[in-house]
Amino acid sequence: MIDRRILSHFDYILVLLVLPLVGLSLFLVYELDPVLFSKQVKYMALGCGLMVFLFFVPFRNLRGVIIGIYMACLVLLILVHFIGTQKLGAQRWVDIPFTHFSIQPSEIMKIALMLLLASYITLNPPPKGGYGIKEFCIISSFILVPFLIILKEPDLGTAMIILLTGFGTLFLVGVNKKIWITLGLLIAFLAPVAYVVDPLKDYQKRRIMDFVSDKSPYQVNQALIAIGASGAFGKSKEESTQSQLKFLPYANTDFIFAYFMERFGMFGAIGLLILFFLIIVHILSLGFAYGQDYFLQVITSYIAILIFLYVGINVCMVIGLAPVVGVPLPLMSYGGTSFVTFLTLFTILENVLAFRFVFEYNAGTKPGPLAQLVRALGS
């Protein structure tokens, strides 16, 4: 029998917000390629099976296991450079022996990093004025090591997302403001130097230069044609010529937002962005509602920032406001690793929420003004 307290703490609102995205993904992928649709269904089935298992894992008590998972992910990231599979000019995947599947270790690292940050910050909560330089450097090393390894794959998009998500979580948890000011000045000074020293690949530099010079790549031009011709309410499948006639590359993966707009128009895009906004605000509200539970606060901050970055970068990339990088639209773009990653993140969040009655919290602490505002928006 399932403890009633688990059901009472389970967040049903998050499920109701996520299900429309999954349904839209299946609908759009099926219209574009029925073969890929069948593969996506298999990925979803795998993700659902993994969810059932992970929901009952006591993540709060697995500090040693979490460190082991993080270290194993670092090893996999290093192995990518030696035995990785190369696709689209980048070596990011590792084939699973005796199967037709491959995994992307950088996606698994997002989960491992989140759990490591949550575990460490729970054991070492920030003082009143925020973390000092010592603790900041320790936690920063957890973020910077995978960032540098992934950057060398090369996978600039994923590397930057891990960097921004990790430090964004630290910002919400609490770091002394003097550290942020100093860090901002260092970045402003070193960014031009880093570009000249050549940490990026030639094609990455070319993408940045094309963006700065307002020279849009082919796929962005085709995406803009699809978006511009969609109108207020979109077109039927037969009239969506950019995608159906294969003018738009990667319509089922990184550029699925362009196909979504071609089908559902401007009002459909507004509705989709509002749905993502509600998911982000709702997840943030869960963390701020229990300010003394640092494990939950890190989990919610990390996932909310991650979704915000994915959606923001993907949409801006599609409409030509950001360089083209391999960042899919969460839960909508075709792809097994990314889809399973987000299902896993949501499952961990539900686990931490549903089983929080097992742990002792300072429930009498009143949330601050920001927490009250975010909580009100989420409800």
As a whole number of Å, the end-to-end CA separation of the chain is: 30
Please list the ranges in the chain whose pLDDT falls under 50.
1, 360-379
Global confidence as pTM: 0.86
Q: What is the pLDDT of residue 139?
A: 95
Which residue, among 36, 22, 39, 20, has the nearest Cα to 251 in the 3D structure? 36
Distances (CA, A) of 49 to 45, 57, 125, 343, 348: 6, 14, 34, 10, 14
Q: What is the pLDDT of residue 376?
A: 45
d(CA 15, CA 21): 10
Tell me the pLDDT tens digit for each residue of 85-124: 666 556 677 776 666 666 788 889 999 999 999 999 999 9
Q: What is the pLDDT of residue 375?
A: 43
Distances (CA, A) of 133 to 33, 136, 165, 177: 51, 5, 19, 11
